Structure 1
Amino acid sequence: MGRVTERRRVIRIRDGAVSTRPDTLVAEEPLEIRLGGKPLAITMRTPGDDFALAAGFLVSEGVLASAGELANIVYCAGATGEGGSNSYNVVDVRLADGVPVPDITLERNVYTTSSCGLCGKASLDAVRTTARWPLDTSPDTPVRIEPATLSALPDRLRAAQRVFERTGGLHAAALFTTDGELLDIREDVGRHNAVDKIVGRALQQGQLPLSSCVLMVSGRASFELVQKAVMAGIPVLAAVSAPSSLAVDLAVETGLTLVGFLRGTSMNVYAGEHRLALSAAASTG
């Protein structure tokens, strides 16, 4: 397995003084995901939780929805072609008997980067995969969360980021209860990979749909992250930065509660405000 961090020599300049020192960097390596032996996607990721990442990716693609649909995930031996050595950078996902294997590689080029996530999807229709668990959009939904609880999540997320403290170069995704209890956290150079690792671990543990949870991400809220939340049955997505216009459109369309610019006691609610315990006197103007 590749290491989560690596050491590199740097020249440090501070107030005109020059010195050399080792620096700790987050590792970034490619991971090829195969489905039934057939190449499906390549993503740049931080090594670790690779099986969960692959499983979570397939949840967002609508291929998997439960642990029973997954036979196994293995590293492909000899992936480097150098004397049969294993790079641990190629995984093969096998579906359980009777689970259809979609031919999604013929419809679009599936390539991901650590910065932007899935790229090359042919159209909006191609990424609007039908959700297995439509979100409850009723105003009487039992999922309710206090704004004060949301306000505490960024600090709890940062406090749990172990690798970030050593490198300063990782995104994180965390799963919380509506009372603010931390359930799981994953780190990666790609925010989309961190979410896939969260969702994939939940699938492996038979916890989908995550219908009573809040997903908190360390960066912006893209269309893809909204899609991943919806496909996992997560009703609330909160981000410390801005959402995109397409992310807001999808959140409104699916009934997801989308919160952005979550910093201190301030936040913007872009969709699904019915899940927030807001004061009756709150302005709607």
Structure 2
Amino acid sequence: MGRVTVREKILRIREGAVSDRVDTLVVEEPLEVRVNGRPLTVTMRTPGNDFDLAVGFLAGEGVVHRSDEVVGIRYCAGSTTEGSNTYNIVDVALAPGVVVPEASVERNFYTSSSCGLCGKASLDAVRTASRWTVTEDPVALTPATLSELPEKMRAAQRVFERTGGLHAAGLFTAEGDLVAVREDVGRHNAVDKLVGWALQHGRLPLRETALMVSGRASFELAQKALMAGIPVLAAVSAPSSLAVELAAESGLTLVGFLRGSSMNVYTRQERILA
């Protein structure tokens, strides 16, 4: 398994004082995802929970929906001069009958850790692929419960405490209990790791839950929440206009600028019991 952090010598300057220090940095490395031996995508990610990441990515693309649709996951040998395993290639074996993405769908697209996957170009693509609907989900949360989510998620971020350089995605119950948290240098990767974990444990769709993410709420993150059947998406920063549009049309409750007791509820406000 690859390293999550590395130590580097730096020159630190603070208010005119100069000193030599050692800083802890989060690792960013490429991960190639293969399906049944065929390359599908490459994403820049923080090593760790790679199997969850691969499965969560496939769930977000509408390729898999249940745990029994994935029959095996393994690391493939990398291309180092020593012939050792780099742990940067994952192959997912799908069950017979599961439709493998065709060449036109594969696109050999490149996913960066910052921008996420831009392969889904329209709202219609999400409507077609999504198996779950959240419109009738009866979940309800209080503002007090929501206000506690960022700090609970931060407290569970082990790597962030050492580096200050990781995003996170946390899955919570309607009562505010933390179910699981995943970290990554990319927001969308953290969500994929979380969804992949849930799928492999037979927990999709994630009814009556809330997804808390660091950073902003993009269209891609709203899409991933819907693909996992999550009815509430909350973010510490701003949502994009397309994320709000998608949330409104699909019945997703979208909360932005969640900081302390302050927040903006953009869609399906009736789920937030003030």
The one of 121, 137, 148 equivalent to 2:144 is: 148
3-state DSSP of counterpart to 2:114:
coil
2:217–2:239 contact (8 Å) kept in structure 1: yes
Give the match for residue 199 of structure 1: 195
Give the match for residue 43 of structure 2: 43
3-state DSSP of counterpart to 1:13:
strand
1:71 and 2:71 correspond: yes
1:221 and 2:229 correspond: no
- % identical equivalent positions: 68
Superposed counterparts of 1:21-40, under 5 Å: 21-40=21-40
Structure 2 unaligned blocks of 5 or more:
none
Q: For the residues of structure 2 that align with 1:83 and 1:204, how far apart are their CA atoms? A: 33
Q: For the residues of structure 1 that align with 2:14 and 2:80, how far apart are their CA atoms? A: 45
- The CA deviation string for residues 238-261 of structure 1, in whole angstroms up to 9 with x for no partner, is 000000000011101110000000
3-state DSSP of counterpart to 2:117:
strand
Superposed counterparts of 1:43-62, under 5 Å: 43-62=43-62
Deviates more, 1:250-259 or 1:269-278: 269-278
Q: Kindly tell me: are residues 104 and 242 of structure 1, through their superposed partners in 2, closer, same or farther at Cα, counting changes over 3 Å?
A: farther
2:123–2:246 contact (8 Å) kept in structure 1: no
1:264 and 2:260 correspond: yes
Give the match for residue 240 of structure 1: 236
Structure 1 unaligned blocks of 5 or more:
279-285
Deviates more, 1:181-190 or 1:157-166: 157-166
The one of 181, 184, 189 equivalent to 1:188 is: 184
CA RMSD of aligned residues (A): 1.6
Q: Kindly tell me: are residues 104 and 277 of structure 1, through their superposed partners in 2, closer, same or farther at Cα, counting changes over 3 Å?
A: farther
Q: Which amino acid aligns with 2:91?
A: D
Give the match for residue 115 of structure 1: 114
1:132 and 2:131 correspond: yes
3-state DSSP of counterpart to 1:271:
coil
3-state DSSP of counterpart to 1:224:
helix
Q: Which amino acid aligns with 1:112?
A: T
- The CA deviation string for residues 64-99 of structure 1, in whole angstroms up to 9 with x for no partner, is 11101101111112x215343211101011101221
Q: For the residues of structure 2 that align with 1:127 and 1:105, how far apart are their CA atoms? A: 17
Q: Kindly tell me: are residues 244 and 109 of structure 1, through their superposed partners in 2, closer, same or farther at Cα, counting changes over 3 Å?
A: farther
2:36–2:94 contact (8 Å) kept in structure 1: yes
1:109–1:121 contact (8 Å) kept in structure 2: no
